Amino acid sequence: MKYLITDNTSGAVRLEDIPELSYEAFYDDLAARLSEPRYHVAHYFAVPSGDRMRFYCLLLDDAEGRILVTSHAMEYYDATALPSLTARHAQMHPFERDITERYGIRFDGQPWPKPLRFPADRYDRRSSMDNYPFYTMEGRSLHEVNVGPIHAGIIEPGAFRFICNGEQVLHLEIALGYQHRGVERAFEETSNRLRQACLAEAVAGDSAVAHALAFAEAIERLTGCQRPAQLDRERAVALELERMAMQIADTGALSTDVGYQLGQVACEALRTMTINTTQAWCGNRFGKGLVRPHGSNHPLTAEKSAMIRRNVGEIARRYEEVRHDICSSPSLLARFEQCGVVPRDEMLRIGGVGQAARASGVARDIRTTHPSGSYAKCLRHETIVEQQGDVMARLVVRCREVLQSARHIDRLLAIYEEKYAATENPCGVPDYTAPLQPSTLSFGLVEGWRGETCHVALTDAAGRLATYRIKDPSLHNWLALALAVRGEGISDFPICNKSFNLSYCGHDL
Amino acid sequence: MIFPKIKVLRSHGRQAIPDLDAVALTSEFRGRPELSEAADSAEQSAVEQAAALCPTGALCAAPLSIDLGRCLFCGECARKAPRNIRFTNDYRLGSPTREGLVIRPGDTHVAFDMTRVRPELARLFSRSLHLREVSAGGDASIEMELNATGNVNFDFGRFGVGFTASPRHADGVVVTGPVSANMVEALEICYDAVATPKLLIACGSEACSGGLFAESRAVDRSFFERHTPDLWLPGAPTHPMIFIDGIRTLLGQKKREQP
Ligand code: SF4
């Protein structure tokens, strides 16, 4: 047995049941599997315990909906370098870089041995933001453009360095870490589960629902409690509302960057309407406070359900008009089409996920491949895929997803109105004290609007949350942005960037 | 292709909020809390439980108070101790002083002590104010809310207030986030690049106190030891109306009740 096999509807797994391979066996098997597009790594991290270092790997199998869990271990003070998997499969790069940066473990042959996020507890204190080893090229006709860490707009910080030949971008390197706040450590340092839930919402505030949901699922697996189906449905409504709001916001942002003011203002108004719907439901425009372990503080009522259905229907109708206008404006299509192309094989190679991967013909969507909750039961979710991999394809995926989410919300609320409208809070109330199973690994795997959001929690022998690891989809996808702008004019960078809209804080943690 | 555009325009209609000073938010919105002293030991123990649960330590049980500069407005304390803590939808939360953000039993508004506002601010900036925003660990929701202040709905630009790209063009800096250690230097350089006289605004509970990350080793609060903000705006994230109300009150364009 090389892997412990589970799926997204099963419970937590005991640490002792997870196989522990030798690194050679782990390397050989993973390297072989990752050559097939059906597999990609959802998380790979190291956990020191005593004088040992154990490495856990969660591998997703899209074809059969399985989650394969395995591990390997070494002595803490063992200084031998491990052969790098990144050298064969580029998608491993953020994980290996993270392990090296935290614990000083070296990966032999790692082609991109650079810091990832400069965490406060990094192994090498000499490495700092100021001496990030940017890639350089020599040549009399080349110049470098440095952008950041502070950007022109009201957005988060990150440093972008372009190497250009005239107007053309030859290479873009993205150096992140400015947003590092120590989120994972903050999870581990507290036993106040409400505080942990609030931390999950703050991982990336624009994906508050997705991260809170991943946290809640991880915790509920650890407590072993069953969720009522209605709770799953309400969470799915919240998640799809968040998706709608953000996809609309990004449609607006793309419109802004090409000077298409009508689309910009229409999307701004539609986004306001979407997030105000969330606010009228739970009191916060980003859905903070909506998802809590084991229950809900903001159960739907018949009036709220009717209000959400009415608003979502109206938003979808008006958004469809905007979409139609974009598709019938040649001047917009000229900017969006064939710009920032990431071909399918590149996307697979770097392990891209979510909306960006789907725009490059990679049908990765947790809601389809690893469904849980309502997605496994009452929703028939179909993955939306576009093939071109350009800015337009990413926009079209957004457009189609807004309409799809609107349909999902309508369906979920129709079920609610039919079955529960007269019941007071069929979801139950949140529970922050339920004991966790000791020495267990659990995870939350959720398709947020950016893509696959994965939280992994490990408890110690006393049932305390000892290790908490978060992966935002941006961790995979930042590299896709860097590849997308190669060969493009530097003036097209803003629309390439907006077409991905990746998270800085979700990456930096 | 004009017809699709006409259709979009017709559906879009008029979006701007006509009077920003008259906005009332939905009753679900959690804004200024109202507190009342515990009348008996049952209430007192409910308040103590709420304080133990509070994720940021914003709630203090004895003497009862909530520090809005640390509060995430999660509303959990009001569920634990509903007789003593109640959230209203009042969004007028900004204060020129850090102490002003502390709410005590009986308080019916967040104090806005005009005597602590530099008198030249209204004269210099009331007709045009351009701000440079620096996110130093902000979680993106607050940045989106600041963007929203200028959108078609709120249109804060109508009062001459907006955001600018270069600190050289700016009249002040708005800081969001707890100030991550990796960002503190860039923030300092940016603030330094703004010509005096200038404004400093701490926007969001994380900027005001560090919020959830107040104790994190990855956060460096020294910027706020060197520089004192002119305006403190709570919120997680700060709703656009909190920002708009705070700036307008600071510039003397709007009055808050005085105690
Ligand atoms: S609403 Fe504020 S004071 Fe109350 S528990 Fe939440 S963070 Fe603490």
User: Using H for helix, E for strand and C for coil, what is the string for A356-422?
Assistant: HHHHCCCCCCHHHHCCCHHHHCCCCCCCCCCCCCCHHHHHHHHHHHHHHHHHHHHHHHHHHHHHCCC
A229 assigned to some structural domain: yes
A428 touches chain B (CB under 8 A): no
Q: What pLDDT, on the 0 to 100 scale, is given for residue B119? A: 87
> pLDDT band at A314, cuts 50/70/90?
very high
Instruction: Examine the pLDDT at A101 and tell me if it is beyond 80.
Output: yes
Inter-chain touch B153–A272, beta carbons under 8 Å: yes
Q: Which helix (H) or strand (E) holds A108?
A: strand A107-108
Residue A435 DSSP class: P
Residues A196 and A286 in one domain: yes
Question: Domain limits at A35?
Answer: 1-102
B41-77 tens-digit pLDDT: 888 888 899 999 999 999 988 888 999 999 999 999 9
Q: CA distances (Å), A387 to each of A391, A476, A480, in order?
A: 11, 19, 15
Residue nearest to atom 2 of ligand 1 (CA): B71
Q: Write out chain A residues lying below 8 Å of B11, CB-based.
A: 266, 317-318, 321
Distance CA B235, CA B206 (A): 8
Residues A287 and A427 in one domain: yes
Distance CA B65, CA B57 (A): 11
Angle between the A302-327 and A261-282 helix axes, to the nearest 10 degrees?
Answer: 170
Best of B72, B104, B212 to mutate for ligand 1, by most ligand atoms within 8 A of CB? B72
What is the dihedral angle through the alpha carbons of A160, A165, A171, A172, rounded to the nearest 10 degrees?
10
Inter-chain touch B75–A297, beta carbons under 8 Å: yes
Residues A91 and A204 in one domain: no
Specify whether the CB–CB gap between A448 and A207 falls below 8 A: yes
A117 assigned to some structural domain: no
Nearest chain A residue to B167, by CA? A152
Q: What domains can be seen in chain B, in order of their start residue? A: 114-250 (3.40.50.12280)
Nearest chain A residue to B142, by CA? A205
- Ligand 1 pocket, residue B58 CB under 6 Å: yes
Question: How far out from the chain centre does Cα A439 lie?
Answer: 26
Q: What pLDDT, on the 0 to 100 scale, is given for residue B24? A: 82
Average pLDDT, chain B: 89
A242-255 tens-digit pLDDT: 999 999 999 999 99
> pLDDT band at A376, cuts 50/70/90?
confident
Q: What pLDDT, on the 0 to 100 scale, is given for residue A419? A: 80
Instruction: Examine the pLDDT at A22 and tell me if it is beyond 90.
Output: no
DSSP conformation letters of A250-263 = HHHHHHHHTT-HHH
Residues A91 and A233 in one domain: no
- Ligand 1 pocket, residue B55 CB under 6 Å: yes
Mutate to test the interface with A, among B145, B182, B203 (most CBs of A within 10 A): B182
In sequence order, the 6+-apart residues with CB closer than 8 A to the CB of B50 are: B59, B61, B76, B77, B78, B80, B81, B85
Q: What pLDDT, on the 0 to 100 scale, is given for residue A138? A: 84
Instruction: Examine the pLDDT at A1 and tell me if it is beyond 80.
Output: no
Q: What pLDDT, on the 0 to 100 scale, is given for residue B259? A: 55
Residue B152 has its nearest CB partner, among A268, A317, A508, at A268
A267 touches chain B (CB under 8 A): no
Q: What ipTM goes with this model?
A: 0.91
Q: What pLDDT, on the 0 to 100 scale, is given for residue A112? A: 86
- Ligand 1 pocket, residue B56 CB under 6 Å: yes
Distance B53 CA to ligand 1 centre (A): 8
Nearest chain A residue to B183, by CA? A178
Residue A120 has its nearest CB partner, among B11, B181, B239, at B181
Instruction: Examine the pLDDT at A210 and tell me if it is beyond 80.
Output: yes
Domain CATH for A451: 1.10.645.10
Residues A327 and A205 in one domain: yes
Q: Stretch A349-368: mean pLDDT, rounded?
A: 91
Q: Write out chain A residues lying below 8 Å of B29, CB-based.
A: 279, 283-284
In A, residues 297-356, which contact B (CB 8 Å cutoff)? 297, 317-318, 321-322, 324-325, 328-330
A462-471 tens-digit pLDDT: 888 999 999 9
Best of B28, B54, B70 to mutate for ligand 1, by most ligand atoms within 8 A of CB? B54
Q: What pLDDT, on the 0 to 100 scale, is given for residue A121? A: 86
Residue B26 has its nearest CB partner, among A149, A280, A328, at A280
Q: What pLDDT, on the 0 to 100 scale, is given for residue B258? A: 65
A262 touches chain B (CB under 8 A): yes
Q: Which residue has the tokens 């250009």?
A: A164
In B, residues 85-124, which contact A (CB 8 Å cutoff)? none
C-alpha radius of gyration, chain B, whole number? 19
> pLDDT band at A430, cuts 50/70/90?
confident
Distance CA A218, CA A214 (A): 6
A148 assigned to some structural domain: no
Specify whether the CB–CB gap between A453 and A446 falls below 8 A: yes
Show which of A73, A102, A131 is a domain's final residue.
A102
Of all residues in chain A, what percent carry a pLDDT higher than 90? 50
Q: Into how many domains does chain A fold?
A: 2
For A326, the 3-state DSSP assignment is: helix
Inter-chain touch B217–A208, beta carbons under 8 Å: no
Best of B59, B206, B212 to mutate for ligand 1, by most ligand atoms within 8 A of CB? B59
Residue nearest to atom 8 of ligand 1 (CA): B54
Inter-chain touch B182–A288, beta carbons under 8 Å: no
- Ligand 1 pocket, residue B73 CB under 6 Å: yes
Return the number of other C-beta atoms located less than 10 Å from residue B23's C-beta. 14
Residues A318 and A434 in one domain: yes
Residues A302 and A396 in one domain: yes
Show which of A102, A126, A152 is a domain's final residue.
A102
H-state helical runs in B68-203: 76-80, 120-125, 141-148, 184-193
Residues A271 and A416 in one domain: yes
Distance CA B25, CA B127 (A): 27
Q: Write out chain B residues lying below 8 Å of A268, CB-based.
A: 15, 148, 151-153
Residues A320 and A434 in one domain: yes
A434-463 tens-digit pLDDT: 888 898 999 999 999 999 999 999 998 888
Best of B73, B101, B103, B206 to mutate for ligand 1, by most ligand atoms within 8 A of CB? B73
Q: Stretch A470-475: mean pLDDT, rounded?
A: 92
Residue B28 has its nearest CB partner, among A121, A178, A279, at A279
Instruction: Examine the pLDDT at A432 and tell me if it is beyond 80.
Output: yes
Q: Stretch B155-172: mean pLDDT, rounded?
A: 91
Best-predicted range by mean pLDDT among A80-84, A294-298, A392-396? Answer: A392-396
State the closest ligand 1 atom to the C-alpha of B33, by its place in the atom list counted from 1.
Answer: 1
- Ligand 1 pocket, residue B74 CB under 6 Å: yes
In B, residues 185-214, which contact A (CB 8 Å cutoff)? 185-186, 190, 206, 211-213
Residues A221 and A81 in one domain: no
Nearest chain A residue to B219, by CA? A181
Q: What pLDDT, on the 0 to 100 scale, is given for residue A470? A: 93
A156 assigned to some structural domain: no
- Ligand 1 pocket, residue B38 CB under 6 Å: no
Q: What pLDDT, on the 0 to 100 scale, is given for residue B173? A: 94
Best of B30, B76, B84, B86 to mutate for ligand 1, by most ligand atoms within 8 A of CB? B76
Residues A339 and A479 in one domain: yes
A218-267 tens-digit pLDDT: 999 998 888 888 888 889 999 999 999 999 999 999 999 998 988 899 99
Q: Stretch A49-76: mean pLDDT, rounded?
A: 88
A294 assigned to some structural domain: yes
State the closest ligand 1 atom to the C-alpha of B73, by its place in the atom list counted from 1.
Answer: 1
Q: Phi/psi at A165 (nearest 5 deg)?
A: -110, 100
CA B135 to chain A, closest CA, distance in angstroms equals 5
Show which of A72, A102, A132 is a domain's final residue.
A102
Distance CA B206, CA B209 (A): 6
Distance CA B223, CA B177 (A): 12
Residues A297 and A434 in one domain: yes
A333 assigned to some structural domain: yes
Q: What pLDDT, on the 0 to 100 scale, is given for residue A474? A: 93
Residue B74 has its nearest CB partner, among A186, A279, A289, at A289
Q: Stretch B139-153: mean pLDDT, rounded?
A: 91
Inter-chain touch A266–B212, beta carbons under 8 Å: no
Residue nearest to atom 4 of ligand 1 (CA): B77
A120-173 tens-digit pLDDT: 888 888 888 888 888 888 888 898 888 878 988 888 999 999 999 989 999 999
Q: What pLDDT, on the 0 to 100 scale, is given for residue A152? A: 86
Instruction: Examine the pLDDT at A377 and tell me if it is beyond 90.
Output: no
Instruction: Examine the pLDDT at A400 and tell me if it is beyond 90.
Output: yes
B222-237 tens-digit pLDDT: 999 999 999 999 998 9
Average pLDDT, chain A: 89
Q: Write out chain B residues lying below 8 Å of A283, CB-based.
A: 26, 28-30, 73, 75
A463 assigned to some structural domain: yes
Q: What is the pTM of this model?
A: 0.93
Inter-chain touch A181–B180, beta carbons under 8 Å: yes
Inter-chain touch B76–A194, beta carbons under 8 Å: yes
A240 assigned to some structural domain: yes
